[in-house]
């Protein structure tokens, strides 16, 4: 089809609603009439990652390749300190990594959780997808798998991550992820047993602030020239997490989900909350029932925020026609990166976030 005609047929819309006490995010959508139109979309302003994914698609690569390469760029660049090595140390000062990649044609997934001492976690996840019948490998045994597959074992800590950890220790290990534990809000562990004298259920708790520097992931979605859809995530998790913690990023349906018959979605934010709700799966299923990508994104964000009023996070969505959307909560606006035939390259988009009525 003539490119001028394709551009003429592209529908660009801005949409906002106020319904049932919900102030909606704006939808920025680009509709492509052909299933073979290519697109890459990812969370946050990680434009270098998006550009790499778009380059892969433009050179004839697959959606899976675009997601793998795009997320790997973010790992190498240590995007915002929340992706790749040298960021988000746990309570022991160690950086561990999570990643996932999903094939929308087969629904096969390759995922890695709490990976130690291997930097290119997305490539390890791709190896799980391509070379095993499993979905998720975790911890030290996942490191052993990576070494068997030829990946180099090396420390994920840097001077910056260790300095960050030491500052947290010097601040009496505040904030942290413990709750209902005496003294956890005032000093470092180990802590008293809950049943020991001095525990006050109402007094002891904790709160970690989520936001653009602790948002936990890059999520990326892609459609290649054949109409195949893939999704993926990569993260170094939450800062000062309890060792052994795995977030939503490597969990299919939570961090990301893709079904070539429908579309894909990827989430970012408080992973412990999102694992309980599976927003990416819910968004894809909403699109299966006829919702637009922006409507699907908004529906799942409202669902989460209704249960967790202090939730901070966002979802990006994409249907098989190339229409996309995004929604968010807990921050003022949410930036995300898009490249498609309309843009001709990577562009940074932004949506205002949803606020629920009192």
Residues known to be catalytic = 217
Contact 91, 239 (CB under 8 A): no
Distance separating alpha carbons of residues 236 and 161, to the nearest angstrom? 11
Q: For the chain, how are helix, strand and coil distributed in percent, rounded to 5? A: 30, 25, 45
Distance separating alpha carbons of residues 78 and 17, to the nearest angstrom? 37
Query: CB-based burial of residue 105 (10 Å sphere; 0-12 exposed, 13-18 middle, 19+ buried)?
Result: middle
**214 token code pair:** 């602790």
Longest dimension (CA), the chain: 77
Question: Torsions phi, psi of 355, nearest 5?
Answer: -125, 135
Cα-Cα-Cα-Cα torsion 292, 296, 298, 300, nearest 10 degrees, comes to 180
Query: CB-based burial of residue 228 (10 Å sphere; 0-12 exposed, 13-18 middle, 19+ buried)?
Result: buried
**199 token code pair:** 């525990």
Contact 49, 68 (CB under 8 A): no
């Amino acid at each position: 089809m003539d490119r001028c005609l394709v551009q003429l047929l592209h529908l660009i819309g801005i949409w906002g609603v106020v319904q049932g006490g919900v102030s909606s995010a704006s939808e920025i959508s680009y509709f492509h009439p052909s299933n073979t139109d290519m697109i890459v979309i990812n969370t946050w302003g990680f434009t270098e990652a998006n550009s790499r994914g778009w380059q892969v698609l433009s050179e004839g690569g697959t959606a899976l390749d675009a997601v793998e390469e795009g997320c790997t760029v973010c790992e190498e660049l240590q995007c915002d300190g929340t992706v790749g090595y040298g960021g988000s140390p746990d309570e022991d000062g160690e950086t561990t990594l999570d990643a996932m990649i999903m094939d929308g044609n087969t629904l096969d997934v390759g995922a890695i959780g709490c990976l130690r001492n291997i930097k290119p976690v997305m490539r390890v996840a791709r190896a799980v997808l391509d070379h095993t019948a499993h979905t998720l490998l975790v911890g030290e045994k996942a490191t052993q798998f990576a070494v068997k597959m030829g990946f180099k074992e090396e420390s994920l800590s840097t001077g910056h991550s260790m300095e960050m950890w030491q500052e947290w220790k010097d601040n009496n290990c505040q904030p942290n992820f413990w709750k209902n534990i005496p003294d956890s809000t005032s000093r470092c562990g180990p802590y008293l047993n809950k049943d020991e004298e001095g525990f006050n259920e109402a007094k002891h708790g904790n709160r970690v602030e989520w936001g653009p520097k602790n948002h936990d992931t890059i999520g990326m979605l892609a459609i290649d020239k054949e109409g195949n859809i893939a999704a993926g995530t990569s993260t170094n998790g939450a800062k000062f997490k309890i060792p052994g913690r795995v977030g939503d990023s490597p969990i299919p349906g939570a961090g990301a989900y893709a079904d070539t018959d429908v579309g894909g979605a990827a989430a970012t934010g408080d992973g412990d909350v999102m694992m309980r709700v599976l927003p990416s799966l819910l968004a894809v299923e909403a699109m299966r029932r006829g919702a637009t990508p922006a409507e699907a994104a908004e529906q799942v964000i409202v669902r989460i925020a209704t249960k967790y009023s202090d939730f901070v996070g966002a979802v990006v969505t994409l249907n098989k026609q190339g229409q996309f959307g995004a929604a968010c909560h807990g921050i003022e606006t949410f930036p995300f990166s898009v490249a498609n035939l309309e843009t001709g390259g990577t562009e940074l988009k932004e949506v205002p976030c949803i606020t629920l009525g009192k």
